[in-house]
Chains A and B, each alone.
Chain A
Amino acid sequence: MEFLFKMFKLKISVYVITLLFSLVTFSLSFAQGYSISGIVKDTLGVPIQNVNVVKKGTLLGTTTNQSGFFEFKNTKPGIYTLEFSLIGFQKLVYDSIKVQNNSVFLNVVLRETLIKAEQIIITAGRHEEKISELTMSAEVISSDFLSKKNLFNVENALRYVPGVNMTEDQISIRGSSGYSRGAGSRVLLLIDGIPFYTGDTGETIWEIIPTSQLERIEIIKGAASSLYGSTAIGGVVNVITKRISDHSLTSVSSFLGMYDKPHFDEWDWSDRMRFFNGLTVSHSNRFNDFGFSASLTRLEDDSYKQSGFSKKYITFLKADYDFSTTSSLSLFFNSLNKRGGSFLYWKDSKNALVPPDADQGQRTATNRYMSGLIYKNLLDQKFLLNVKTSYYLNKWNDESEAGNRATSNLIRSEVQMDYSFNDKSLLISGVEAMHADVRSNIFGDRNANGFGIYSHFEQKFSFPLIVNAGFRYDYNKLSSIKGSGAISPKVGLNYKLNPQLTFRTSFGLGFRAPTLAEAFTSTSTSGITVKPNPLISPEKNLSFEIGADWNFKEIIGAEINFFSNEFYDLIEAGIDPADGLVIFKNVTRARIQGFELSYNFSLLKSDLLFSANYTYLYSRDIDLKRALKYRPKHSIYSSIDWKLLNVDFGIDARYWSRVEEIDEELIDLGLVKDGKKRTEVIVFDLRVGYQLPFADFNSKILLNADNIFNYNYVELIGNLKPIRNFSLSIEFQF
């Protein structure tokens, strides 16, 4: 009780500090004058939503609403340049906009394009940057892709990104991770820039993210510790939520799907069809300076696996208040309540969709709540203050014999300051702190504390060359383990040889502190016993990449990246030979190298799009002279999109080569029978979408057929991935 009271006091303190910041800086806000506004449409005259509009030479930016409308209020007399950009459209620069004794209204037309270089990305340098100006490689998944493929979990969208592999729910960017059973991640998830990982295991919970509320997903490939600290040693995934609507907007989307029968009769454990369904209702509106967006999602999955069923409720709330045109406060709330079965490994390959007898009937219950505040204030045209604070409560328990349970509280706060010397020089600095408190029968009663300070400088030259350099210092301490600090520097270059060809390179150091779960887990599940390792220490890496983008007449685009990562004291789960128990330890020196090739082109005025990419990954445990676990050497993704009047057709294909190394120990110990059975991954998906011809509201119907050849494969040993399934979904907005 005393603990909860302390936590409450601490939480309140953090929020009060943030609000004080808001009020103090609010009083410093300024500006009176005219406005620059307008409407952005495509070449067919249809208004475009979510277009990024940036006032060049300042830190000011906005996005268009459902009507394609944007506005910069309180603009002083002068001459301005606006830049308009959106994924899938050609960037447009509107210059010489003269504001004297009048407001200005613009009619802007954007042309569609495939070329990624014109897209906007936010995360890489903690400020808005065009992807073509980054010094490291990045990818963007649009909300359109999530909708077309009826993806209700971000995890499934990431399986189509070059350089990204998923082993169950664990992400690996350029081979940074294998499978750590949920303990720790080498990729940092951000929601609108707020770090989002659990306080106990440090894992990423993809299923909490409401996909219907997303505008886009940005993926930064390669170490980003110099900006984001410990967890970003392998990369960053930043989920950007949709802008709050300027008028009343209600959306309803629903889907119903079913799994086909398994490929082999002996796997058919159920005497009925297995279904999955979902419903999302959301509403967004704005009343003068206050706006909100709220959604509720219900997902139910019978599962194709026995004990794989789940029922989830996801809530999302985003509210903001504009104190003035230069300062605002945003509030986020996101929750997940889930009840489901538990399927870790199959009984054997003859019973591939059934868990072992000992695991029959196991259940898990999970409740996760995340809230965050973001305060922004443009103190003058050059100086932007950004304060973020978040609180994450995470509770789960399983109904296994061990009765594992954990409750964790994670509080983070961060102050970031951007100073723009002129339109070519930018300094970004900040400090952040976190505290985690855990009560659990498998981790013990523990706490973790962390502190970080960073500073980065970016200089643009007219050659045109962009140079950025910076560092971050982090100090982390886990309960009784001695604290440790690390400096993560990074330097990068971007050089545009001509409008078609851009080169980039970056070099940096990264680190990752072990999580409470990696240090203190003591449990037994499905015959696998994990023991603690209080001697565990941080892992480090040294990363380098060089790449180039090329595009031709907005029809063809190509990209190539070479990367190399040296890992020191890499933390991996393995078996302790002395007692056969699983332990997380600093096992190895590792080297991960490779390259990515991407190619895309459009035909028929962009109505027919083709894209393909290939990743080669060489991962090596240098001490043991063998490949790292769960890293496929070859990955290929390809898609074809064809738009014909109101109908969209699409084919997605992905191939991962058979992973060389797996958890052989679990097989040798007899814990996963037939666990050696694995194969390459070859999956084809089909989709058809139809835009309904109603003038009053936006609506569409989508039909998806996933894994159409019913190909049987695993990502993790003894755990078959989804068999062929079909879903029909409908979406409408009014």
Chain B
Amino acid sequence: MKYYKKIKSIILLLPVLFQLSCGEGITPEPETTQKPGFSGKITFIGAWPDSITRTHLVVFKNLLQSPGDFNILNLKFVGPEIPYGISEINYNSLDTAFIQITSGEYAYVCVAQSKTIDLSLNRIDWTVAGVYYANGDTTKPGTLVIPENTLVTNIDIICDFNNPPPQPPGGR
């Protein structure tokens, strides 16, 4: 008789287990009208240094507090190459990018320049020409916050070649 009680318990337990698996599991990402991104204007002041081979708008997840922070895993956005010698450019991260940004919080947004002929990911080969500051506070880099399904605007950067910003550790 006690065996039949066990059978009964199992039979009662089965619907509970079945219910657990009646979810769909993984679902397709819903279509959104707006992809996450950011846009703004980059202004260059003064004469461009000689021998610049490439200039890019880049975004890092975390602050560059050591040369090791300048790495591909910390790098979350790389915009298209900015033409040499221009005085200003309007950009939109959704237009084109080598690495596309996703929603989230980013601690360091800057314009970086390199003089090497081949593309290098070594910190020493790059110079920061301008940094994004939030709300006019130039004492520390501004944080870029991109909510889901939102294009954040007015992320403006000034690159003053006569008065360059503080360089992260590991540069020349």
A interface list, Cβ under 8 A from B: 263-264, 266-267, 348-350, 352, 575, 577-580, 601, 603-604, 608, 610, 638, 640, 651, 653, 655, 665, 668-670, 674, 677-679, 682-684, 709, 711-714, 720
Contacts and interface: CB of A to CB of B under 8 A. Distances in A.
A577 B29 contact: no
Nearest to B98: A670
Contacts of B18: 684, 709
18 contacts: A263-B24, A264-B28, A266-B28, A575-B72, A580-B73, A601-B6, A604-B3, A608-B7, A655-B20, A668-B76, A677-B26, A682-B21, A682-B23, A709-B22, A711-B23, A712-B27, A713-B26, A714-B26
B94 interface: no
A669 B6 contact: no
B68 interface: yes
Interface in B42-77: 68, 71-74, 76
A577 B20 CA distance: 40
Nearest to A638: B17
B72 A577 contact: yes
- Most chain B CB within 10 A, of A349, A577, A651, A679, is at A577
Contacts of A603: 3, 6-7
B136 interface: no
A651 B13 CA distance: 13
Nearest to B13: A638
B25 A712 contact: yes
A577 B76 CA distance: 13
B72 A578 contact: yes
Interface residues of B, number: 28
Contact of B10 (A350, A640, A679): A640
B99 interface: yes
B121 A350 contact: no
A83 B122 CA distance: 70
B167 interface: no
> Which 5 A-B pairs have CB atoms at the shortest separation, nearest pair first?
A577-B71, A712-B25, A580-B72, A682-B21, A712-B26
A674 B27 CA distance: 11
A360 B132 CA distance: 41
B29 A348 contact: yes
A668 B73 contact: yes
A677 B21 contact: no
Contact of B121 (A579, A604, A678, A711): A579
Contacts, number: 84
Contact of B29 (A349, A575, A711, A712): A349
A349 B74 CA distance: 25
Contacts of B14: 651
Contacts of B23: 682, 711
B20 A682 contact: yes
Nearest to B61: A668
B29 A677 contact: yes
Given A349-B26, A578-B71, A711-B25, 18 more contacts: A264-B24, A267-B28, A348-B29, A352-B26, A577-B74, A603-B3, A610-B10, A638-B17, A651-B14, A653-B21, A668-B73, A677-B27, A679-B26, A684-B18, A711-B21, A712-B24, A712-B27, A714-B26
Contact of A577 (B28, B68, B100): B68
Nearest to B10: A610
A354 to B, nearest CB: 12
Interface in B1-37: 3, 6-7, 10, 14, 17-18, 20-29, 31
Contacts of A669: 72, 99
Nearest to A713: B25
Contacts of A713: 25-26
- Most chain A CB within 10 A, of B6, B21, B31, is at B21
B73 A683 contact: no
B79 to A, nearest CB: 14
Nearest to B20: A682
A527 to B, nearest CB: 13
Contacts of B73: 575, 577, 580, 665, 668
B52 to A, nearest CB: 23
A69 to B, nearest CB: 37
A711 B14 CA distance: 17
Nearest to A711: B25
A573 B18 CA distance: 37
A27 to B, nearest CB: 60
B25 A670 contact: no
A653 B21 CA distance: 10
B72 A350 contact: no
Contacts of B25: 263, 679, 682, 711-713
Nearest to A655: B20
Contacts of B74: 577
A173 B17 CA distance: 25
A283 B74 CA distance: 61
B32 to A, nearest CB: 11
A601 B2 CA distance: 13
Contacts of A640: 10
Contacts of A575: 72-73
Contacts of A677: 26-27, 29
Interface string B107-121: 000000000000001
Contacts of A655: 20
A574 to B, nearest CB: 10
B169 to A, nearest CB: 16
